[in-house]
Structure 1
Amino acid sequence: MRSGKEAAGSRLRTALVCAGLGLAAVAPLLGTLRTDGFIHDDRWIVAGNPLLSGGWKSVGALFTTGYWEAARGKSASVQEYRPVLMLTFLLQRMLTGAEPGPMHAVNLILHGLASILVFLALAGRMDGVAAAVAAVVFAVLPVHTEAVASLTGRSEVLAAALMLGAWLALDRKPPASTASRVAAGCSLYAAAMLTKEHAVLFPMFLALSDRASGLGAPWSRERRGVYCALLGCVILYGALRLTVLSHAAQVGTPYFADTSRLSALLTLSRFAALRYLWPSLSGEGSCPDYSRPLIPDAGPSDSFAWLCLAGLAFLACAAAMDLFRRRPAGKGAPWSFWALAPCVFLLPTSHLLVPLDTLGAERFLYFPSIGLAALMGLLWKKASAAAPWPAGLAAAALVAWYASSTAGKNEVWVSDLSYYAAAVDCNPVSARAHSALGQALVVRGRVEEGKLHLMKAIGLGPRIPQPYYNLARLAWDRRDYAGAESLLRRCLELDPMSPEAWVLLAVVAEKLGKASDSAAALARALAIHPGDPLAHYNFARLCLSRGLASEAAEHFSRFLELAPDDPQAAEIAGLVSRLNPAADDLSSRSKVR
């Protein structure tokens, strides 16, 4: 039994390690604080989400609205449910405003917290110094860049922190496993599921952890209460998800829609080896965009794909056999647990359970990389026993390399221009990357260069709607309304559920003197996405031009609810009060804002 002085010294060492981990996690990624604007999905989910402008009154709506629904309407091609994640953005919007810098700062803090929790979790399962080495490796891994630098990547980081907290709370035998600990662990687990849906597999991870540490099977008398509570959380989450979403598991156009199961499995195996495992180890080789046809499908004659499949299958089987055959090690956890258990969270994105619209993404590796970091900690422990100084120098060099690589990759996230330029560099055959880069160039005044990328996007993907929409915006800016109309018609042939295309078509039709077509397009946009502020604003203008004062006031009022921070809000609120005296209260509230 340790004396009070020894316990105090241990707590001090733990606090110092945690502080160092927080700094190590944040330092290579500080460049995200310089991010210029909102990049990629952040534009839709964070900047363009009207619910985040509503203050406290939006809290209930966040729990009854799909992740993409607020930005794209109920017909969004991807159906996800992440209200706790969105609640963090709402609270931050209320506290720090709409600028991206403070939001990125919170992502950095969460990554530092996750790194500390990794250390605390590992310290109970391996030597303390090895746990510290593993945790600092986790803190600086380059494959974490996307998850931390992207605001929407907060789903990965926050879910990981919540699951690590649940793991620490629930990894106890009676009498240490008290009702309060179980309640806390289940609450954290529920919050994790409401942050990112892959957290639903946490009970499987916990069962493997229990096996490794000898806590008993899920159905044992000591553990059945914990797993029944977790099952109750899953049932409640599933019921809530089914109630809110129009489709429980809609993920857009499946990546392997026209590919055989064997070819898909071989392609995924090769992808996992080259684009997941190698970048995780080396810090090089990842890409922001894996759109087709960058990675060709693997056929039965692809010997390298078969080799990757055999290697991954062998590793999984060897780890499973070792984990279930060996006698539980008490405090320690064997290599097999670290190789197998964290990878459970890759199952939802493996195309084995549900089809996805993307082959993969770097951010999916955030929690699974805990296993890689732990294995490196175990390897360092063995090496240091034989050669302490060389092992220490090797670990320091590896951490320095990872931190440097992370800082370099982080520069990609400084602006949308640098991000999409990097996407085109690593995937020059991606129509979506060329389209987005073209639009970013146009916005910065490099119009002809941007137009070339937009035209190339159409050449690479003639059935992708976004480049037609971006070219239509360029035609609108040049007052080529007929050209814009033609491009928008083509865009809507390919994606008739695009609210922004219908809104732009409406204002183009208005310029061409087609008032009825404009009204019809705006009605269609609002049918798709009733919460589109631009649709309400333009419908109000159209009604006003027709002398429909009450209808104009109604749509202007709705616009003010959805976009209270708009620069024209005070002016529009005054107009509403003149059109509809009953709206005076709304006018005064908007002016206060």
Structure 2
Amino acid sequence: MPKLARALAALGLVLLGAIAFWPGLSGGFLFDDYPNLVLDPDWKVTTLTLDAWQRAAFHGVASSFGRPLSLLSFAANHYFTGLDPGPMKLTNLTIHLVNGLVVFALSRRLLALARERAPAPGDWAAWPIAAAWLVHPLQVSTVLYVVQRMELASQGMALASLLAYLVARTRQRESRPAAAWFVLAALAWLAGLGFKESALLVPAYALALELCLLRFEGAGGRLSRPWIILHAVGAVSALAVFVVVVIPAYATADAYQFREFDLAGRLMSQPAILVMYLGQMVWPDPNHLLFYYDHLQAPQGWLPPPWTLAAAIVLGALVLVAVWLRKRRPMTTFAIALFLLGHALTSNILPLELAFEHRNYLALLGLPLGIAGLLGGLAKSWEKATPRLLPLAVVAVLAGLTFQQSRLWGDPINLSTTLSSRNPGSVRAGYAVATDWYAIAGSDVNHPLWSLALRELELAASHDYGPPLGEQGQLVMLAHAGRDAPEGLWQRLRDKLAARPISPEAESLTYNLVACRINGCALDDLELQATLALLVSRNPDSATLRVQYANFAFNVMRDPRLAIALMRDAVELAPGQPSHRAGLLRFQLASNLHDPSTISAEIDQLRALNHDGVLDEDLEQIESLLSDQDDRSGTRP
């Protein structure tokens, strides 16, 4: 493909992607955006001080592996445009468009390599491959979902690393210098890990590339034993880490205590979910793109339901087809491997939720690559202009569907309403639309949306799975309206919360109830206290619940001694959380129950824990309370 043609193709790819996703930039935050971004102060940089940027990089949404580059990118957005979802979504789209160009370049090289092994389409096919991946409707919920910047950038770096690796290996086979490209591949991989741990799979993708297309060939096309040994050592090392570190950490009942399913249920659920993903890729009917998948239940065995075993058979057959096609259509084999490996982390033993659409971001590339590989036998006829219109027509349909999905995502109220109607069995979808409708209606019980919101919450509460979001929403709505809760509603809330160890989502739910009461809504104090006391007794290791109960005891019950006792427990349970120590000091000083002989040392200890200024606001409040104490005691002039 001539340079001018490549440049025009790249420009066309960017324009197509921009047009398809542009209507969605007017949308808002949703779901995990709120706990991870909107409500988290740590990443919201407003100055250029080093402490502020260090705080942004190493606090907040970062996982146990760390996601500093993602957090720094969010911080940069906030520094320039504040907490505005539009520029954040535009940044996501920009990353996605760049990733599309990487996929275009990668596809060209994969096609060239495939033509060495078997019949395959020419360079022209790289554009529809990249375009189909770029504007597939399944990508909308990754590109326009702000917090999934982490997945976009991590997988983008994974693609860049794979491209650099392929260039390096091609040069190596041609006896040309390749070291710089190997270094670039390693750097891109490390950068991907800085965004999210999804990039861990890059070595697995490289191994699949070797097995399917590169065949471990060195200079002159000869088999390279050192290269075989290198990949073998890498594979064995990864397997050893999985067996020695990952399995003992996650294949336990404790790891799944917050879930409604166990390890066996999760593993048995994944074949059907992967087949569901394949269906969404092949036939991207917008009505089947649900975003919320909390209604899915883990099976208790292979039968029933029958599709659990059937899906496992389908995946097994797909693997057999890949093996059979390895020499006949190697690019299709690689495409199948790319899809399956793309889910190797999220469909494994980790106690993650069962399904999310964004997990398909990179794995989706397997579909157009696989189809192109299968059409390799028609390579000559496909070089004619007319047959090329078929993949372009498919791309046009995908772009049109994505444009419609983006328009939906650009209208927050329409989005939540549509997602709820698509999946009436989802507690989260019902809670989301009820929240949006209630935000419009406010406390006006005569507003038509007020009644509709309450009805959605009642429907959400009728489901027997998940946290009691419907019950909590009803309690808050009725309290703001000055209405009594229906008999038994509090008890149903407690029954659902006590059914299993508290999850982060359920902790957020109880936090909202406590915050609502502290801010003046008319919740029943005795019922809320009974709920908090029950949860604390049922979750003896939860520092978060003790902090919530302490805030309620101090601000509502006016019982500082109980609040201080609960905060002391929280400090003991989570000694690595300096904010709990700060809360304890605030309660002690505000109630004059501190020890004057040790308070200075305790404040100094807190200052020592104030890394990156994360406790600046807490220390300011404590200093103010201490100053008030000194003024009242007459120790200051």
TM range (shorter): 0.7 to 0.9
TM-superposed CA distance for 1:430, in Å, is 3.6
TM-superposed CA distance for 1:344, in Å, is 1.0
Structure 2 unaligned regions, length at least 5: 112-121, 444-449, 466-494, 498-505, 631-637
Check 1:92–1:561 CA distance in 2 against 1; reply closer, same or farther (3 A cut).
same
Check 1:233–1:109 CA distance in 2 against 1; reply closer, same or farther (3 A cut).
farther
Question: Is 1:121 aligned with 2:167?
Answer: no
Check 1:577–1:379 CA distance in 2 against 1; reply closer, same or farther (3 A cut).
farther
In the alignment, which residue of structure 2 is the partner of 1:269? 271
* Partner Cα distance (1:59, 1:525) in 2: 28
Which of 153, 156, 181 is 1:158 aligned to? Answer: 153
CA RMSD, aligned part only?
4.6
Check 1:137–1:379 CA distance in 2 against 1; reply closer, same or farther (3 A cut).
farther
- Retained in 1: the 8 A contact 2:332–2:371? no
Which of 22, 34, 51 is 1:30 aligned to? Answer: 22
1:52 counterpart SS class:
coil
Which of 529, 532, 552 is 1:485 aligned to? Answer: 529
* Partner Cα distance (1:560, 1:524) in 2: 26
In the alignment, which residue of structure 2 is the partner of 1:202? 202
1:194 counterpart SS class:
helix
Matches within 5 A, 1:24-423: 24-36=16-28, 38-53=29-44, 56-57=50-51, 67=61, 79-126=64-111, 127-171=122-166, 172=169, 173-174=171-172, 175-214=175-214, 216=216, 220-221=224-225, 223=227, 253=257, 257-258=261-262, 264-265=267-268, 267-273=269-275, 275-284=276-285, 285-293=288-296, 299-300=302-303, 302-323=305-326, 325=327, 334-351=331-348, 354-378=349-373, 382=378, 385=381, 391-411=387-407, 413-414=409-410, 420-423=416-419
Give the AA of the match of 2:354: L
Question: Is 1:463 aligned with 2:496?
Answer: yes
* Partner Cα distance (1:543, 1:559) in 2: 23
Question: Is 1:429 aligned with 2:429?
Answer: no
TM-superposed CA distance for 1:154, in Å, is 1.8
* Partner Cα distance (1:446, 1:500) in 2: 29
**TM-score normalized with structure 2 length:** 0.71
When structure 1 is superposed on structure 2, of 98-107 and 569-578 the one drifting more is 569-578
- Retained in 1: the 8 A contact 2:136–2:399? yes
- Retained in 1: the 8 A contact 2:40–2:60? no
When structure 1 is superposed on structure 2, of 199-208 and 515-524 the one drifting more is 515-524
Give the AA of the match of 2:334: F
Identity %, equivalent residues = 18
- Retained in 2: the 8 A contact 1:50–1:563? no
* Partner Cα distance (1:452, 1:493) in 2: 32
* Partner Cα distance (2:612, 2:528) in 1: 28
Aligned length: 545
In the alignment, which residue of structure 1 is the partner of 2:482? none
CA deviations over 1:327-384 (Å, ceiling 9, x no partner): xx9xxx5322222234212111223xx1433222111111111111223445677489
CA deviations over 1:183-211 (Å, ceiling 9, x no partner): 11111112223333232222221122123
When structure 1 is superposed on structure 2, of 525-534 and 172-181 the one drifting more is 525-534
CA deviations over 1:59-113 (Å, ceiling 9, x no partner): 65677668556xxxxxxxxx55333323332344344434332222111111001
TM-superposed CA distance for 1:318, in Å, is 1.6
Check 1:421–1:539 CA distance in 2 against 1; reply closer, same or farther (3 A cut).
farther
Check 1:298–1:233 CA distance in 2 against 1; reply closer, same or farther (3 A cut).
closer
When structure 1 is superposed on structure 2, of 49-58 and 367-376 the one drifting more is 49-58
2:195 counterpart SS class:
coil
Check 1:370–1:282 CA distance in 2 against 1; reply closer, same or farther (3 A cut).
same
TM-superposed CA distance for 1:253, in Å, is 4.4
TM-superposed CA distance for 1:571, in Å, is 9.7
1:125 counterpart SS class:
helix
2:107 counterpart SS class:
helix
CA deviations over 1:458-514 (Å, ceiling 9, x no partner): 543453435555455555542335144344445556666666655553343222221
2:333 counterpart SS class:
helix
In the alignment, which residue of structure 2 is the partner of 1:540? 586
* Partner Cα distance (2:442, 2:371) in 1: 47
**TM-score normalized with structure 1 length:** 0.75
Give the AA of the match of 1:322: L
Check 1:259–1:428 CA distance in 2 against 1; reply closer, same or farther (3 A cut).
farther
In the alignment, which residue of structure 2 is the partner of 1:515? 560
Structure 1 unaligned regions, length at least 5: 1-8, 70-78, 582-593
- Retained in 2: the 8 A contact 1:380–1:391? no
CA deviations over 1:10-56 (Å, ceiling 9, x no partner): 222222221221222232222342233x3222222223334314653
Give the AA of the match of 2:152: V
In the alignment, which residue of structure 1 is the partner of 2:549? 505
- Retained in 2: the 8 A contact 1:143–1:283? yes
- Retained in 1: the 8 A contact 2:102–2:159? yes
- Retained in 2: the 8 A contact 1:66–1:80? no
TM-superposed CA distance for 1:534, in Å, is 9.9
- Retained in 2: the 8 A contact 1:380–1:395? no
Query: With CA pairs under 8 Å and 6+ residues apart, which has the higher RCO, 1 or 2?
Result: 1
- Retained in 2: the 8 A contact 1:67–1:80? no
* Partner Cα distance (1:457, 1:489) in 2: 25
* Partner Cα distance (1:300, 1:486) in 2: 41
- Retained in 1: the 8 A contact 2:567–2:583? no
* Partner Cα distance (2:304, 2:237) in 1: 45
Check 1:128–1:387 CA distance in 2 against 1; reply closer, same or farther (3 A cut).
closer
